[in-house]
Amino acid sequence: MKKQTLLNIKGEKVEDIKLNEDIFGIEPNNKVLYDAIILSRASLRQGTHKTKVRSEVSGGGRKPWRQKGTGRARQGSIRAVQWRGGGVALGPVPRDYSKKMNRKERRLALKSALSVKASDMLILDELKIATPKTKDMLNILTTLKVNDVKTLIIVKELDENIILATRNLQNVTLLEANEINVLDLIANEKVVITKDAVNEIEEVLA
């Protein structure tokens, strides 16, 4: 079992706890991890980009001049792609960017991400604040020395005070344990997680 220090919100050591090495201590599979990150980023793309082809732009119903005898190049419509205001050739069309990954690969990617971040993980016995003030949360993060870096906070269940206290902190991402994903784990420099959240993750991924 992998040992990790359990802290309170004052940054003081409470005890040593053991983490499941099959989740927090595996050799990361970089290929699966990379694929999971690409999948996550692709799922954020709406794919609603669209340009109009010559049949969709308005105007150009008749031939601009006769075929022969003018000395100019033959033209069939002023809405052809070479005309200003005409259609766009080979432009983007709506598409689905989502990718697929099987369940075993998803689990392996998540375990790999957790193992990568294990050394940058701060485990708290609990995370509770009495008031929904940003200043209170910032004081906790400052005490833990993670106030000036991108930080992912993982709790077992979202508390309204914590939601309100973190939503104005631009470098903080707040997630429930059942919402953790590879992209947020890798994108943040530090991870602050509660003991209850660790237990839930281990229960699901074990």
Domain 2-46+100-205: which CATH class? Answer: alpha beta
Token pair belonging to 190: 């530090």
- C-beta of residue 36 within 8 angstroms of C-beta of residue 43: no
Type of residue at 204: V
What pTM value is reported for the model? 0.83
DSSP H helices in 18-150: 21-24, 30-43, 103-117, 134-143
Cα within 13 Å of Cα(164), Cβ side: 10
Give residue 1's pLDDT band: very low, low, confident or very high (50, 70, 90): low
- C-beta of residue 35 within 8 angstroms of C-beta of residue 101: yes
The domain ranges of the chain are 2-46+100-205, 51-91
pLDDT in tens, 86-139: 999 999 999 999 999 999 999 999 999 999 999 999 999 999 998 999 999 999
- C-beta of residue 22 within 8 angstroms of C-beta of residue 111: yes
First-residue to last-residue Cα distance in the chain: 13
β-bridge partners, 152: 173, 191
- Any residues with CB less than 8 A from the CB of 125 and at least 6 apart, and which? 6, 7, 8, 14, 194, 195
pLDDT in tens, 15-44: 999 999 999 999 999 999 999 999 999 999
Token pair belonging to 102: 């099987």
pLDDT in tens, 135-185: 999 999 999 999 999 999 999 999 999 999 999 999 999 999 999 999 999
Q: What is the pLDDT of residue 206?
A: 82
